[in-house]
Amino acid sequence: MDRLSDDDLALLLLIRSFELKLLELFERGELDGTTHTCLGQEYVPVSLRPLLREPDWVFSNHRGHGHYLARFGDPEGLLAEIMGRKGAVCEGVGGSQHLRRDRYLSTGVQGQSLPVAAGVALRLKRHEPGALTCVYIGDGTWGEGSVYEAMNLAQLWRLPLLVVVEHNGIAQSTPTALQMAGTIEGRARAFGIGHHRVDRFEIPRIRDGLAPLIESVRADPRPLVVEFATHRLGPHSKGDDTRPPGFPRTDWYAAYRAAHPGQAARVEAEARARVDEVAAEVTARPPAAWTAA
């Protein structure tokens, strides 16, 4: 694998260390509710990070910690939100799945974001040309009718809408082969929408392939579907893993660590130390105090 910059690898391993810390905190009984980690999928938002601009909107989903950290690099605020501590992104009322910060929104309701993102893209086209909306969905989200309604309007109205599909082969507990006829590419093409598939892990090469496509979404507004063939290493949420033995769980980091052991060990140690410090500091904070506006 090509060697990554220290900055890219640091962000990748910050996300991974953060997710592993959440699972550790849950196991110790220090967190309530649930959480959906993106272990194995960290490279998706990191690949897109420099291709998105500050005026762009980002719509995330239930498995969105990596999306948030790639956008803001703020483990303190995110962990405080999940733990309901002072300094939380949304004063502790959004939790793991429902965040709002600047032009970033996440929701745990599958398919909900695409119609909203299309509406925001319409506004951007009219009032902020050159900006776009990026919405992250999974392969399971293609079972929602709202996805197709939004894509139909996005193509009809030529909206600057970037649909990023994290296709990890399973929708909660149902393998894609058991719940999806045809392909994501075929469904996008049915609306005349462009499709680009990413089936590699090398971030610089991913960016090289995506940069001109995303620029075209800005310059000549129209939707684009980018499908990442990826793997979720952990369970659906913190403990419900129903995948059969042998289900694909390829880890990009295992391959990278084997190719670049010295850099990987150094940057991983730094990322884990940072997350340990963040967890200790946030855990010691008083509870967040929410007040109605």
Query: Which DSSP symbol is given to 107?
Result: -
To the question of pTM greater than 0.85 for the whole model, the response is yes
Distance CA 206, CA 201 (A): 7
Domain ranges of the chain: 6-238+249-280
Question: pLDDT tens for residues 105-158?
Answer: 999 888 889 999 999 999 999 999 999 999 999 998 998 999 999 999 999 999
Torsion of CA 233, 65, 203, 4, to 10 degrees: -90
* pLDDT, tens digit (0-9, with 9 covering 90-100), for 255-293: 999 999 999 999 999 999 999 999 999 999 999 988 876
Reading the block at residue 106, the tokens are 């996440």
Average pLDDT (206-219) is: 98
Domain covering 6-238+249-280, topology:
Rossmann fold (3.40.50)
Per-residue pLDDT tens digits for 32-45? 888 899 999 999 99
As given in the structure block, the two tokens for residue 199 are: 């089936």
C-alpha span between 251 and 237 (Å, rounded): 18
Over 80: is that where the pLDDT of 235 sits?
no
Cα–Cα distance for residue pair 227/163, rounded to 1 Å: 8
